[in-house]
Structure 1
């Protein structure tokens, strides 16, 4: 199966999501968070740096649970960043 290339918006959302998750992790080790969420450390690192721009929903949900984040608030934060970016461009 061939995946369609990611759009610039999708790549940007991935970077924003990764940054938000990394900020929420704070001083906790990436290894501890990944273990508690049931994902590999490599996957968490890729999400945090935006290399996985569209992580699976259940992966994001597991990370949100471990980090004490509300999924709706997380989605809203990503959307707000897009609005701010659009305001700078327009």
Structure 2
């Protein structure tokens, strides 16, 4: 399977997701958070750093649950209006995100 390069919008959303997860994790260790979410610490590190900008929905849901974030909060954060892009022009719907 060949992965297409990320669009600038996808990369920006990945950065916002990572920042949200880092803020929500606070002083909690990355190792503890990853183990509680049943993901590898390396996966969590890559998501938080934006290196994995489009993680699988179950992974995001598990991490959000451990950090006490609702999926609505996550969705709202990663879909903030993009600079210089008209509202809705490159945004995926919740249904599309769940299907990916």
When normalised by structure 1's length, the TM-score is: 0.88
Residue 79 of structure 2 aligns to a residue in which SS?
A: helix
Aligned residues: CA RMSD? 1.0
- Residue 62 of structure 2 corresponds to 62
- CA-CA distance at 1:58 after TM superposition: 0.2
- CA-CA distance at 1:86 after TM superposition: 1.5
Q: Deviations over 1:28-80 (max 9, x none)?
A: 00000000000000110000000000000000000010000000111112222
- For residues 77 and 63 of structure 2, what CA distance do their matches in structure 1 show? 16
- What is the number of residues matched between the two proteins? 84
- For residues 78 and 54 of structure 1, what CA distance do their matches in structure 2 show? 11
Residue 35 of structure 2 aligns to a residue in which SS?
A: helix
Alignment counterpart, residue 86 of structure 1, candidates 83, 87, 97: 83
Residue 86 of structure 1 aligns to a residue in which SS?
A: coil
What stretches of structure 1 move > 2 A for 4+ residues in a row? none
**Structure 1: which 5+ runs fail to align?**
none
- Residue 92 of structure 2 corresponds to none
